[in-house]
Amino acid sequence: MKNKKLVLRKRCEGLIGHGDADWASQDHHHSISAYIFQIDGIPISWSFKKQTIIALSSTEAEFIAITHATKEAMWMKNFITEVFQPLKFPVKIYSDNQSAITISYGNQHHTRTKHFNIQLYFI
pLDDT tens per residue across span 50-90: 998 888 888 888 888 988 999 999 999 999 999 988 888 88
Cα dihedral sign for 47, 52, 56, 59? negative
pLDDT tens per residue across span 12-54: 678 999 999 998 777 888 999 999 999 888 899 999 999 988 8
Superfamily of domain 15-82+89-122: Ribonuclease H-like superfamily/Ribonuclease H (3.30.420.10)
Cα dihedral sign for 6, 73, 105, 31? positive
User: Any idea where the domains of the chain sit in the sequence?
Assistant: 15-82+89-122
- The burial class, CB within 10 Å (0-12 / 13-18 / 19+), for 120 is middle
